[in-house]
């Protein structure tokens, strides 16, 4: 398909390696970034290859020798400067992500731009509170930086996911080579500009744009990369693990999800169902934690379906850069067609289409929009209940009793997140404790950037955010006296 070009295309011609903007190994080769609402090319970034990775890893390896011995004060100063630099460019970052990804601008300002800046600042505080040495009997146990970290990040929360990796890695004394998503890479280049202005020592942070099969695999298999930290699909995470296994490097994975929201029989449906939709349809459903399986008691099923229909139809579609709708488009044409394919699969397998559907919205002929969709009469063996759709599609499942609800929720290959709704907090916590997931939101509990984030089962291993995120980048050594 031929993609039109916007009048104000931003072109980044160089990678950021060893504190400088450097020519790619294959100059003149670019990846095109498309505006999700207009379907026009909005940016170009260099298409890196293994030679670019080699150069970036060499810079990171050399810089590690001195950065690992930097003081906590020096690292905190750098983290603070980066945080301030990102805050100064908040409007630009928010607009960029709204164009690339499709999140409405008001939300993008808070989540896609504000949260990454906060994360860098948080790690200055966390670092100061971290104990790096402990005496145990005749042993001195110390925590040291892992070394050179390869960070591979996704497109749905591009700068947020970058910050979750780069900030704690730098705080720990590690050096970084970053490969951002080729679909939404622009904010990685803004971060590199901010880091350069902040004066981070050369080689501590390096940026190589490119594709997963070329740049990502080169990083995962590189002998001088000590750890890979990856966020993306379970399929891609499996491949990263396979490639990294050749050098026995550490691997942290944050992968897919198919989260369940359990609405207990004592919950307020008028609060629980809209609350679930607000989490599930955030970022047009392009969120790995999205609770897209809504579990409701059989006795309240008909009522729940009616509330769900009304709620879904309140999610208006529109241009995210002007906040014209409650949700925007999906990120690419291929993602839109993938989601439409799942909707068609749901119908084919016998689920009841309550609202929405695979057809294009009549009033939005351009942009990768998908109508907010609800399925009823869904069973947990259907494809739409098993696989991560990554779009605004909700499946409503009925359960008999509390035990049945927990069984259905845990009957999944994934275990990233979940939700419980109840008028009894103790009961909600009891159910939450039995859900095999890395996090559970109780009665709409808000996201906490200082709490650990990560999953069970095929949702990955390792944790991000807070002190747990810092510990991912530390080795433990004992010295016997």
* Active-site residue, from 288, 388, 464, 472: 288
Phi/psi for 465 (5° steps) reads: 75, 150
Task: Kindly state the DSSP code that residue 448 receives in the 8-state scheme.
Answer: -
Under a CB-based contact definition with an 8 Å cutoff, are residues 437 and 289 in contact?
Answer: no
Dist. CA 217–CA 228, nearest whole Å: 10
Residues 6+ apart with CB under 8 A from 409: 260, 262, 293, 295, 418, 435
The pair of three-digit structure tokens given for residue 318, joined into one six-digit string = 């529109």
Q: Is the dihedral of CA 74, 77, 83, 84 positive or negative?
A: negative
Determine contact, residues 258/388, Cβ cutoff 8 Å. Answer: yes
Q: Nearest-CA neighbor of 384 among 331, 359, 348?
A: 348
The DSSP code for 246 is G
Contacts of 355 (CB under 8 A, 6+ apart): 309, 312, 313, 371, 372, 373, 374
Give the residue carrying structure tokens 């042993």: 139
**Dihedral, CA atoms, 257, 420, 442, 387, nearest 10 degrees?**
10
Active site residue 254: yes
Pick the catalytic residue: 217, 254, 464, 472? 254
In angstroms, the CA 156 to CA 111 distance is 11
CA–CA gap between residue 249 and residue 87 (Å, rounded): 34
Distance of CA 131 to the CA centre of its chain: 29
DSSP letter (8 states) at residue 112: I
Give bridge partners of residue 374 from the DSSP assignment.
355, 394
Query: Is residue 442 within a helix (H) or strand (E), and if so which, with residue range?
Result: strand 441-442
**13 is a catalytic site residue:** no
- Exposed/middle/buried for residue 439 (C-beta within 10 Å: 0-12, 13-18, 19+): buried
Q: Which active-site residues does the annotation give?
A: 254, 288
């Amino acid at each position: 398909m031929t993609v039109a070009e916007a009048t104000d295309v931003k072109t980044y011609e160089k990678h950021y390696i060893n504190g400088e903007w450097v020519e790619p190994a294959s100059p003149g080769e670019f990846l095109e970034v498309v505006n999700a609402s207009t379907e026009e090319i909005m940016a170009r970034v260099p298409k890196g290859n293994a030679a670019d990775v080699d150069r970036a890893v060499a810079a990171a390896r050399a810089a590690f020798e001195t950065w690992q011995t930097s003081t906590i004060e020096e690292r905190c100063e750098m983290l603070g400067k980066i945080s301030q630099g990102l805050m100064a460019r908040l409007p630009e970052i928010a607009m960029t992500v709204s164009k690339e990804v499709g999140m409405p601008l008001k939300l993008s300002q808070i989540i896609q731009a504000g949260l990454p800046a906060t994360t860098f600042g948080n790690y200055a505080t966390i670092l100061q509170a971290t104990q790096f040495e402990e005496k145990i009997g005749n042993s001195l146990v110390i925590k040291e930086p892992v070394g050179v970290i390869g960070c591979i990040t996704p497109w749905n929360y591009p700068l947020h996911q970058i910050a979750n990796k780069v900030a704690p890695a730098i705080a720990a004394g590690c050096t970084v080579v970053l490969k951002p998503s080729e679909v939404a890479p622009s904010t990685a280049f803004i971060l590199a500009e901010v880091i350069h202005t902040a004066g981070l020592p050369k080689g501590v942070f390096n940026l190589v744009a490119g594709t997963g099969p070329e740049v990502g695999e080169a990083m995962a298999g590189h002998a001088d990369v000590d750890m890979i930290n990856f966020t993306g699909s379970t399929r891609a995470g499996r491949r990263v693990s396979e490639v990294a296994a050749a050098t026995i490097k550490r691997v942290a994975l944050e992968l897919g999800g198919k989260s369940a929201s359990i609405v207990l029989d004592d919950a307020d449906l008028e609060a629980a169902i809209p609350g679930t939709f607000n989490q599930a349809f955030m970022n047009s459903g392009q969120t790995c934690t999205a609770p897209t399986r809504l579990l409701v008691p059989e006795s309240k099923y008909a009522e729940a379906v009616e509330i769900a229909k009304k709620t879904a139809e309140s999610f208006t579609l529109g241009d995210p850069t002007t906040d014209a709708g409650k949700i925007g488009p999906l990120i690419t044409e291929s993602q839109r067609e993938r989601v439409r394919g799942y909707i068609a699969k749901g119908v084919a397998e016998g689920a009841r289409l309550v609202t929405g559907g695979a057809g294009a919205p009549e009033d939005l002929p351009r942009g990768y929009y998908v109508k907010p969709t609800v399925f009823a009469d869904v069973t947990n063996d259907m494809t739409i209940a098993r696989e991560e759709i990554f779009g605004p599609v909700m499946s409503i499942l009925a359960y008999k009793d509390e035990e049945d609800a927990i069984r259905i929720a845990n009957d999944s290959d994934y275990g990233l997140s979940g939700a419980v709704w109840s008028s009894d907090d103790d009961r909600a916590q009891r159910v939450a404790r039995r859900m095999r997931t890395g996090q559970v939101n109780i009665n709409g509990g808000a996201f906490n950037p200082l709490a650990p984030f990560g999953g069970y089962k095929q949702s990955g291993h390792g944790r991000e955010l807070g002190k747990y995120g810092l510990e991912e980048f530390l080795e433990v050594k004992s010295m016997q006296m």
